[in-house]
Amino acid sequence: MSSSDMTTEHLDALTKEYGNKFGKPDGRLLVVVAPGRTELAGNHTDHEGGQVIAGAVNRYVRGVFHPNESGLIRVMSLGYGLVEVDCSDLQPHADERNTSAAIVRGLLSAFREMGFGGNQLGFDAVVTSEVPAGSGLSSSAAFELEIAQAMNWLWADGGVSAMRLAQMSQFAEREYFGKPCGLMDQAAVAVGGIAHMDFADDAAPKVERLGFDFAENGFSVCLVSVGADHSANTADYAAVPREMQDVARAFGHERLREVRESDVIGSLPPLRAKLGDRAVLRALHYFREERFVQNRADALRTGDMAAFLELTQRSGASSAMYLQNVSIGGSSEQPAMVALAVAEELLGGRGAARIHGGGFGGTIQAFVRLDEADEFCRAMDEALGGKVSARYDIDQEGARAQWLES
């Protein structure tokens, strides 16, 4: 764990808050750091068994943990309050949907299924996050891997693999929190670096670390908050995989990965009549984006930044036109589209911009020349009316933990 992701200042603040809330710990504290993530390629492909490229970024959830053997898990999230979960109660609670308590309980259930975390093995924790909620940096996955990695080290001596922790976190988000997410966010946070992932087999996704450095190739990754929290549009987000899977089921499959694009195109009249045009367009986006991901992975392997930028622009256009997750249909509020229009004007063809993550708000992503990145962020801030833009570096480690000597 590097001094930049958990500074003395961070640690002092967390341990002070721990003492104020829970008293002086009897023994060592466990320090856990989990990064946010940026989706570099693969807009709404993972839940269909497709491919993505994702990178962990240098914005973190940080926490200190200590076992209490009380049968209770108590997590104080600074700025949000205390979450308390009884280790003997593993069932989902309807009143916990969309809350941190649901994540903690879901992960507890997943660890119990593996034989870890008995009824009396609770813990106390204080965590803080600099990953903005609803921003598209996946604050939820960062929190999930923060708690999952803590459970891993408190109960399993760190023996659970990064990908298994990601799958357990996805389980908690889907079955307890109530969001039908894919596995990309959790896998990116767990693994770290830039990774090309293939989710054809949910039980054993293929993950290849790509040894690419944007800065060494003359570019910065910039993210711009569009001024609308995408978490308010969970229903719109959930409609994307549902409609894609409706198309897959029309061919006797559960995911578009198992369907041929030619069969969809050859069946357009009955599909449109039964499912509507939007579902069909979203399916067609999936097939286009699958090709774009593969081609962008090849571009990163060979260091072809020009090809990567061109493919990113084409991917962004597909998301806007076919996937339709840049704005809410029929609404006069289109903050992401406004941000993209400004970004493309500022870039002047020298970079690329696209919707980022789930869409419907949150952030846009831009790849900007290093010598123009500061001015780009300043101009975006001015145009959108606030400090909304930032440059990001890739975090190479993913979620990690370390015992702090008492």
What is residue 45's predicted lDDT score, i.e. its pLDDT? Answer: 94
SS3 content of the chain, % helix, strand, coil (to 5): 45, 20, 30
CA dihedral 203, 164, 300, 51 (to 10 degrees): 30
What confidence score (pLDDT) does residue 221 get?
A: 96
> What is each CA distance from 263 to 80, 248, 256, in whole angstroms?
49, 11, 11
Provide CB contacts within 8 A for 23, sequence distance 6+: none
- CB–CB of 321/313 below 8 Å? no
At 181, the pLDDT band (50, 70, 90 cuts) reads: confident
**CA–CA separation, 393 and 388 (whole Å):** 17
Whether the per-residue pLDDT at 236 is higher than 80: the answer is: yes
**Averaged pLDDT score across all residues of the chain:** 93
Residue 112: per-residue pLDDT: 96
pTM for the model stands at 0.86
- 3-state SS class at 46: helix
Q: How many CB atoms lie within 10 A of CB 149?
A: 27
Q: What whole-number distance in Å separates Cα of residue 107 and Cα of residue 172? A: 6
- Domain ranges for the chain, please list them: 8-210+395-404, 215-392
pLDDT at 272: 98
Q: Please tell me the distance from the alpha carbon of residue 354 to that of residue 397, in angstroms, as a whole number.
A: 26
Query: Averaged over 27-33, what is the pLDDT?
Result: 94
Closest by CA to 107, choosing from 175, 158, 56, is: 175
DSSP 8-state code for residue 405? P
* CA dist., res. 326 & res. 317, Å (int): 10
Residues 168 and 162: their CA atoms lie apart, in Å, by 10
Q: Is 233 helix (H, G, I), strand (E, B) or coil?
A: helix
- What element of type H or E holds 39? strand 29-41
Please give the average per-residue pLDDT across 296-318, as a whole number. 97
pLDDT at residue 178, rounded to an integer: 92
CA 271 – CA 11 distance, rounded (Å): 56
Nearest one of 210, 201, 194, 78 to 146, comparing CA atoms: 78
Residue of 170, 167, 282 whose CA lies nearest to 236: 282
Instruction: State pLDDT tens for residues 188-215.
Output: 999 999 999 999 997 888 999 998 999 9
CATH superfamily of 215-392: GHMP kinase, C-terminal domain (3.30.70.890)
The token duo for 255 is 């995911």
pLDDT for the residue 69: 86
Q: Of 216, 215, 184, 186, nearest to 199 (Cα)?
A: 184
Q: How far apart are CA 168 and CA 113, in angstroms?
A: 10
pLDDT value of residue 390 = 93
Q: Which pLDDT belongs to residue 230? A: 55
CATH number attached to the domain at 8-210+395-404: 3.30.230.10
Please choose, from the candidates 228, 47, 36, the residue with its C-alpha nearest in 3D space to the C-alpha of residue 142: 36
Structure tokens at 386: 């606030």
Reported confidence tier of residue 117, pLDDT bands at 50, 70, 90: confident
Ranges 1-15, 198-212, 249-263, most confident: 249-263
Average pLDDT over residues 279-286: 98
Residue corresponding to tokens 């909304």: 388
pLDDT tens per residue, range 328-357: 777 788 999 999 999 999 999 999 999 998
